[in-house]
Amino acid sequence: MDTVVSGIRSTGNLHLGNYFGAVKNFLKMQKENNCFFFIADYHSLTTHPRPDDLHGNIKQVLAEYLACGIDPEIATVFVQSDVPEVTELYLLLNMNAYVGELERTTSFKEKIRKHPDNINAGLLTYPVLMAADIIIHKAHKVPVGKDQEQHLEMTRRFARRFNMIYEVNYFPEPDAYNFGQELIKIPGLDGTGKMGKSEGNGIFLADSPADIRKKVMRAVTDAGPSAPGQEPSEPVKNLFTIMDVVSDQETVKYFREKHAVCEIRYGDLKKQLAEDIVRATEPIRIRINDILKDDKYLAKVVSDGADKARASASKTIREVREIIGYRPF
Ligand code: TRP
* One-letter amino acid for residue 310 of the chain: R
How confident is residue 117, by pLDDT bands cut at 50, 70 and 90?
very high
pLDDT at 182: 62
State the average pLDDT over residues 289-301. 98
pLDDT score at 156:
98
Q: How far is the CA of 293 from the centre of ligand 1 (A)?
A: 27
- Cross-strand pairs, 84: none
What is the predicted pLDDT for the residue at 232? 96
Q: What is the mean pLDDT of residues 207-214?
A: 97
Per-residue pLDDT tens over the stretch 301-327: 999 999 999 999 999 999 999 999 999
The percentage of residues in the chain with a pLDDT greater than 90, rounded to a whole number, is 88
Q: How many whole angstroms separate alpha carbon 234 and alpha carbon 161?
A: 44
197 is catalytic: yes
For a pocket test of ligand 1, which of 83, 148, 155, 156 has the largest count of ligand atoms closer than 8 A to its C-beta?
148
User: Ligand 1: distance of its center to the CA of 81 in Å?
Assistant: 14
* Mean pLDDT estimate for the chain: 95
Catalytic member of 24, 197, 271, 308: 197
Q: How far apart, in whole angstroms, are the C-alpha atoms of residue 152 and residue 312?
A: 20
Is 194 known to be catalytic? yes
What confidence tens digit (pLDDT) does each residue in 215-269 have?
999 999 999 999 999 999 999 999 999 999 999 999 999 999 999 999 999 999 9
∠ Cα 136 141 143 (to 5°): 110
Amino acid at 48: H
Whole-structure pTM value: 0.92
Mind listing the pLDDT tens digit for each residue in 127-143? 999 999 999 999 999 99
Q: Is the pLDDT of residue 180 over 70?
A: no
* Percentage, residues of the chain above pLDDT 70: 98
Whole-number pLDDT of residue 181: 60
The Cα–Cα gap between 221 and 243 comes to 14
Looking at residue 78, what is its pLDDT? 98
Give CA separation, 121 vs 85, 112, 128, in Å.
20, 12, 11
Flag whether pLDDT at 34 surpasses 90. yes
Q: Which of 14-28, 108-122, 301-315 has the lowest mean pLDDT?
A: 14-28
